Amino acid sequence: MNAIGHLLCAEWQKTTGNRWAVGTLIGLFPIMAVVILILTTLVALGGSPEAMARMGIASGGQVAYWPDYFLFAWAIPSTPIGRWLLIAFTAVAFAGEYQWGTWKNLAARRTRASLVAAKFVTLSLLIVASFTLMSLILGFGMLLPVSIAGGTYGPALDGPLLADFAGRYLGQAGLAFASALVAAGYAALAAIVTRAILGSVLIGIGAFLLEEGLAVPLGLLGTLFHRPEIVALIQLTPSYNLQNLLAWARTGGGHTFPPLDLYAQPNSPELSIVILLVWIAGLIGLTLYSFHRQDILN
Amino acid sequence: MTEIALRLHHVAKTFGRGKKQVQALKNLDLEVQAGQVYGFLGPNGAGKTTTIRILLDLIRPTRGQAAIYGRDPRRDHGVLGQVGAIVEGAAFYPFLSGRRNLEVLARTGGAYDRGRIDSLLEQVGLAERAGQYVRGYSTGMKQRLGLAAALLSDPDLLILDEPTNGLDPAGIQEMRVFIRDLVDRHGKTVFLSSHILSEIEQVCDRVAIINQGALVREGAVADLLAGSAELRVEAAPLAHAAEVLAARWPVQPNGQSITVRADRAAIPEVVRALVAAEVDVFQVVSQRQTLEDYFLSVTQSPEANHA
Amino acid sequence: MLDVQRHANLFRAEWQKIAGHRWATGLLIWIFPMGALGILAIMLLVALLAPPDIQRNFGLASVNGSVDWTEIMLGAWNIPNEMFGRIILIAFTAVIFAGEYQWGTWKNLLPRRRRVPLIVNKFVTLGAFVVVAFGAASLIAGLGMFLPVKIAGGQYGPPLAEALQSDFVRNFAVQAATTFTATIIAAVYAALGAMLTHSILGSIMIGIGLMILELFSMGIFALLGSLFGHPEIVGLYQLMPSYNLSNVASLITHQPSVNPPFLLNYVAPNSLELSVLILFVWVFGLMTLTVLLFRRQDVTF
Ligand SMILES: Nc1ncnc2c1ncn2[C@@H]1O[C@H](COP(=O)(O)OP(=O)(O)OP(=O)(O)O)[C@@H](O)[C@H]1O
Ligand SMILES: [Mg+2]
């Protein structure tokens, strides 16, 4: 194995060795998939028809749409709870080294940039692994309760459907990944700045909340200074662009809301992707830069 | 008849269960009389800190009892009011100043006396830095603050776990004088664990040595070292000399010389034996064994590992 | 007398310690009164600078020209019942309880005081912080809004005497007390988490996890009911803290019952006394569990 391989391997061992954090913050997703499967199977075995309907199990010849189950996992990183968990996980990976006083062991052995980069790569791998696993467990697993309940798990697979599904799947997964990376970027930067797990979590979550509530102060500023178009600045934030891409994928039109629609067109998908990439690169770059300049004191 | 400050009776402690089980203490018995400095020695992982935690009711023994002034700290927590302690490296709230940390601890104990805190900070040499956040303290400064914290309630018994850890030579010297002073002039009792054997040798009246959770030796420092003198013999050929001497004394080859377990009175005998065997003798020196030698010999002998 | 002083000292020790953790208290508890101040500042700006229709959007001048301060004061106490407020308070509890593990400071405290008063005192201190923070937020918002409303030319009513005669005092007391109890229950979850995980983040995760579990408990009971063919199992929901809290609040303030119709198919609503009793059992049961866990714990950090 070469040097980079060793570094990644070490990072992976260290991160997954923190059983507790991995279990509750990232392993939670595949575990949740298994729990959902068990519950639905139980309901399929003994529940009333209403209960089955409520659990989304197609019974008596109805059709359960399997692409939904495969895609479900990838919607999670865009939900608040999913995002908070990812922030907490990133916080443990980055701020943990301060808390355990272990940066001093590492920083002497490697360049700081490669240490931070290894952390981001490891996090990405873990995140992709976790959601892929969840997606596969749910997607294939649901066949069991649905067939027990006597429903159909459809539609039947053919070439065009597969191509369409693959496209949607990759799009959804890519979006989820981008969303996760933005969250990780905030948390990592906050970890470097506050040097504490809790501080990193709070600031990471705070940044997202701030971003989502940004319309209010921008709107207020706009009215105060009689420049209502200021509110369109919101189209530069990651949250907006993530939602915008989702909206494009779902409805074929961009994301907007009053009073934003009065002043600006929704970003095009390409523009949104570029803006997101700039944010991700910017946050990671800023993390690297702050870490590079930092005194390691403990 | 002096008072017993501290006693352990058949104390055992096992951490964890099943495969991960660690027997930190096995049937430890110990008695410390009031009014002396008592040294508690043992290699890393011997169980010193575990013993101290049991005395302070931080952990419960798996078997046996601890008693402080005859009272079990588990049942009778009040007795710990007479105890001050440093456990395994002083730890404080990093976001509070040194003085504020002491204030919080004093209040936790139920009473706060500003004058006492000031004079303690003075005594440990932190008066000038007391207003700074502990976050910015050096290891030795934290240790000094730990000593001040241990003395807050003017305890009769001080339990100090490696108190000189991180102190500079002047600090170590001050600590030694300070501890002797507490005992000799103020009638306190000090129970002290350490690795620095020369320290213990200079400051302690009695010592106990534990290894792998069991008591190996106990006694007055002077007694332990008496009758355990050694001779260092330089001679050629060394191997032959060792062979000759081994017939009568315990011998250990030691690089350029050999170490013979015998006291000064045996020197003529040794030289005669060597000369008779046609060995050239260059030097025979009598050495008083240090606590360090003694410690190494008892903690590394196979007998100790059985205990 | 001496004992009172000892307890007072213990309380002050905890208060000084937590208050000294500037950024944690700033972000996790003082944020509430500071938020009230921030909102007030925005309101003042709006009152001074914005056109009337925007002022109306900000609730400064309602259609009939009157703003009700009693609602504002009650509203501040409702923040801990919102998801986000609750999570922040769970994090605050986690700092209080799990912080000692993280800083390695239990070993300093335990020889000085028995474990039970140390833990109970942490709950008391937490309660004091909550009362001070939300009392302050409520006062700041309730008194402070007078200014922007007047500037915007609205009425700030009702008159104090009238409010005191109406249900305001009782409603305020009930709101404060139920919110306080709800906060303490969420806090005990976090405290339990601290005892189990010895880490601030772990304590927060367990606190939030238990909170979410409780949130979904009715659904879970309903599911179990339909699984086992005993739909009345859903009635167990009436044992949960959140049900009883809102039940108590609605019974005292004579507001419509909180009982979901679905639930009423199977069980009668709890009486006031029963609900209070159940809440009492939860709070003290969980606190006792925390204390028991801590009493049996080896402190080796
Ligand atoms: N919390 C714990 N869980 C498991 N094992 C423990 C724990 N605490 C201590 N031990 C074990 O108990 C044994 C005694 O440890 P202890 O800390 O008492 O040693 P010590 O004599 O103080 O060593 P040192 O000189 O290094 O401070 C060691 O083997 C240690 O690994
Ligand atoms: Mg030790």
What ipTM does this complex have?
Answer: 0.86
Q: Give nearest CA residue, ligand 1 atom 17.
A: B49
Determine whether the interchain pair B96/C6 forms a contact, defined as Cβ–Cβ distance below 8 Å: no
Between A30 and B231, the higher pLDDT residue: A30
A contacts of C27 (beta carbons < 8 Å): 202, 206
What is the pTM for the complete model shown? 0.86
Determine whether the interchain pair C202/A24 forms a contact, defined as Cβ–Cβ distance below 8 Å: yes
Q: Give nearest CA residue, ligand 1 atom 8.
A: C300
Instruction: Provide the CA B142 distance to its chain's centre, in angstroms.
Output: 20
Q: Give nearest CA residue, ligand 1 atom 19.
A: B45
Cα dihedral across residues B16, B19, B24, B29: positive or negative: positive
* Ligand 1 atom index nearest CA of B46: 21
Q: Which residues pair with B251 in a beta bridge?
A: B260
Assess whether pLDDT exceeds 80 at residue C9.
Answer: yes
Inter-chain contacts counted by CB atoms under 8 A, chains B and C? 93
pLDDT tens by residue, A127-162:
999 999 999 999 999 999 888 888 888 888 888 888
pLDDT interval class at B307 (50, 70, 90)? very low
Both tokens of A24, joined, read 């509750």
pLDDT winner (highest mean) among A100-114, B237-251, C5-19 = C5-19
Contact of B281 with B271, CB cutoff 8 Å: yes
Nearest ligand, CA of residue B210?
1
Contact of A142 with A69, CB cutoff 8 Å: yes
**Predicted pLDDT of residue B306:** 45
Say whether residue C45 is in contact with chain A using an 8 A CB cutoff. yes
d(CA A82, CA A183): 10
**Predicted pLDDT of residue B180:** 93
Non-local (6+) Cβ contacts of B180 within 8 A are B37, B203
Q: Which residues pair with B41 in a beta bridge?
A: B194, B209
Both tokens of B43, joined, read 């290699």
Among residues of chain C, what percentage have pLDDT more than 70? 96
d(CA B284, CA B245): 13
- Nearest CB among A24, A51, A220 relative to C223 is that of A51
Chain A closest CA to C259's CA: distance in Å?
Answer: 21
Both tokens of A59, joined, read 């019974």
Element containing residue A97 per DSSP (H, E) = helix A80-99
What is the distance in A from the centroid of ligand 2 to the CA of A14? Answer: 26
Non-local (6+) Cβ contacts of C40 within 8 A are C140, C141, C144, C145, C147, C148
Mean pLDDT over B261-276 rounds to 85
Say whether residue A18 is in contact with chain C using an 8 A CB cutoff. no
d(CA C97, CA C170): 33
pLDDT tens by residue, B34-88:
999 999 998 899 999 999 999 999 999 999 999 999 999 999 999 999 999 999 9
DSSP string, B251-296: EEEETTEEEE---GGGHHHHHHHHHHTTPEEEEEEEEPPPHHHHHH
Chain A closest CA to C173's CA: distance in Å?
Answer: 31
Which residue on chain B is closest to C100 by alpha carbon? B93
Instruction: Name every protein residue with a CB atom under 6 angstroms from any ligand 1 atom.
Output: B 15-16, 22, 24, 42, 44-50; C 300
Per-state percent for chain B, helix, strand, coil, to nearest 5:
40, 30, 30
Chain C closest CA to B48's CA: distance in Å?
Answer: 13
Mean pLDDT over the full length of chain A: 87
pLDDT tens by residue, B134-146:
999 999 999 999 9
Say whether residue C204 is in contact with chain A using an 8 A CB cutoff. yes
Q: Checking DSSP bridges between strand B189-194 and strand B157-161, what pairing results, if any?
A: parallel
Q: Crossing angle of helices C241-252/C272-295, nearest 10°?
A: 140
pLDDT tens by residue, A177-230:
999 999 999 999 999 999 989 999 999 988 988 888 888 888 878 877 788 888
pLDDT interval class at C63 (50, 70, 90)? low
Mean pLDDT over C271-276 rounds to 89
- In a mutational test of the A interface, the residue from C30, C82, C92, C201 whose CB has the highest number of chain A CBs within 10 Å is C201
Residue C269, φ and ψ in degrees, nearest 5: -60, 150
**Predicted pLDDT of residue C15:** 97
Say whether residue C59 is in contact with chain A using an 8 A CB cutoff. no
Q: Reduced to 3 states, what is the DSSP secondary structure of residue A265? A: coil
pLDDT tens by residue, A95-120:
999 888 888 888 878 888 888 999 99
From C42, B33, C11, select the one nearest A224 (Cα to Cα).
C42
Non-local (6+) Cβ contacts of A202 within 8 A are A190, C27, C28, C91
Instruction: Provide the CA B6 distance to its chain's centre, in angstroms.
Output: 15
Chain A closest CA to C223's CA: distance in Å?
Answer: 7
A contacts of C202 (beta carbons < 8 Å): 20, 24
- In a mutational test of the C interface, the residue from B49, B93, B161 whose CB has the highest number of chain C CBs within 10 Å is B93
pLDDT interval class at B305 (50, 70, 90)? very low
Mean pLDDT over the full length of chain C: 87
Distances (CA, A) of C38 to A210, B305, C139, C155: 14, 68, 14, 22
**Predicted pLDDT of residue A224:** 75
d(CA A32, CA A51): 19
Q: Give nearest CA residue, ligand 1 atom 18.
A: B47
Q: Reduced to 3 states, what is the DSSP secondary structure of residue B38? A: strand
Mean pLDDT over B116-144 rounds to 93
Question: Is the bond leading into A259 cis (omega within 30 degrees of zero)?
Answer: yes
Q: What is residue B130's DSSP assignment? A: T
pLDDT tens by residue, B149-180:
999 999 999 999 999 888 888 888 888 999 99
A contacts of C204 (beta carbons < 8 Å): 198, 201
- Nearest CB among C50, C54, C200 relative to A197 is that of C200
What is the distance in A from the centroid of ligand 2 to the CA of A13? Answer: 29
* Number of Cβ atoms within 10 Å of the Cβ of C268: 10
- Nearest CB among C27, C201, C226 relative to A48 is that of C226
Mean pLDDT over C280-297 rounds to 92
Both tokens of C215, joined, read 């949130």
d(CA C211, CA C217): 10
Assess whether pLDDT exceeds 60 at residue B111.
Answer: yes
Neighbors of chain B by Cβ distance (3+ pairs < 8 Å): C
Cα dihedral across residues C80, C81, C83, C86: positive or negative: positive
Show the 3-state SS of B149-192. Answer: HHHCCCCCEEEEECCCCCCCHHHHHHHHHHHHHHHHCCCCEEEE
| Contacts within 8 Å (CB) and 24+ apart, B220-229 | B221/B39, B221/B291, B224/B291, B224/B294, B225/B288, B225/B289, B225/B290, B225/B291, B225/B294, B227/B263, B228/B261, B228/B289, B228/B294, B229/B262, B229/B263, B229/B264, B229/B286, B229/B287, B229/B288, B229/B289
- In a mutational test of the B interface, the residue from C21, C112, C296, C298 whose CB has the highest number of chain B CBs within 10 Å is C112
The lowest-confidence range among A119-123, A156-160, B204-208, C10-14 is A156-160
Both tokens of A113, joined, read 């940039």
Q: Checking DSSP bridges between strand B189-194 and strand B37-41, what pairing results, if any?
A: parallel
d(CA C93, CA C96): 5
Assess whether pLDDT exceeds 60 at residue A168.
Answer: yes
Determine whether the interchain pair C103/B93 forms a contact, defined as Cβ–Cβ distance below 8 Å: yes
* Ligand 1 atom index nearest CA of B13: 12
d(CA C141, CA C88): 20
d(CA A292, CA C183): 42
Determine whether the interchain pair A43/C45 forms a contact, defined as Cβ–Cβ distance below 8 Å: no
Between A226 and B191, the higher pLDDT residue: B191
Q: Which amino acid is at C2?
A: L
From B24, B7, B9, select the one nearest B157 (Cα to Cα).
B7
**Predicted pLDDT of residue A50:** 72
Both tokens of A104, joined, read 């001093």
Say whether residue C116 is in contact with chain A using an 8 A CB cutoff. no
Chain A closest CA to C86's CA: distance in Å?
Answer: 14
Q: Chain B residues within 8 A (CB-CB) of chain C?
A: 15, 50, 53, 56-60, 77, 80-81, 83, 85, 87-88, 91-96, 100, 103-112, 149, 153
Non-local (6+) Cβ contacts of A162 within 8 A are none
Contact of A178 with A276, CB cutoff 8 Å: yes
Determine whether the interchain pair C49/A224 forms a contact, defined as Cβ–Cβ distance below 8 Å: yes
Contact of A125 with A223, CB cutoff 8 Å: no
Q: Strands of B4-15's sheet, edge to edge?
A: B22-33, B4-15, B63-68
Between A162 and B198, the higher pLDDT residue: A162
Neighbors of chain A by Cβ distance (3+ pairs < 8 Å): C
d(CA B76, CA B159): 18
Mean pLDDT over the full length of chain B: 88
**Predicted pLDDT of residue C120:** 93
End-to-end CA distance of chain A: 31
Assess whether pLDDT exceeds 90 at residue A59.
Answer: no
Element containing residue B16 per DSSP (H, E) = none
* Ligand 1 atom index nearest CA of C301: 1
C contacts of B151 (beta carbons < 8 Å): none
Assess whether pLDDT exceeds 90 at residue C188.
Answer: yes
Q: Reduced to 3 states, what is the DSSP secondary structure of residue B29? A: strand
- Nearest CB among C23, C50, C201 relative to A201 is that of C201
Burial of C48-79, coded b for 16+ CB within 10 Å and e otherwise, reads eebeeeebeebbbbeeeeebbbbebbbebbeb
* Ligand 1 atom index nearest CA of B195: 25
- Nearest CB among C28, C46, C227 relative to A47 is that of C227
Nearest ligand, CA of residue B46?
1
From B64, B56, B69, B29, select the one nearest B160 (Cα to Cα).
B56
Say whether residue C50 is in contact with chain A using an 8 A CB cutoff. yes
A contacts of C51 (beta carbons < 8 Å): 223
Chain C closest CA to B148's CA: distance in Å?
Answer: 12
Q: What is residue A59's DSSP assignment? A: B
Determine whether the interchain pair C300/B53 forms a contact, defined as Cβ–Cβ distance below 8 Å: yes
Q: Which residues pair with B257 in a beta bridge?
A: B254
Determine whether the interchain pair C201/A50 forms a contact, defined as Cβ–Cβ distance below 8 Å: no
Contact of A77 with A83, CB cutoff 8 Å: yes
Alpha-carbon Rg for chain A in angstroms: 22
Determine whether the interchain pair C112/B109 forms a contact, defined as Cβ–Cβ distance below 8 Å: yes
Say whether residue A24 is in contact with chain C using an 8 A CB cutoff. yes
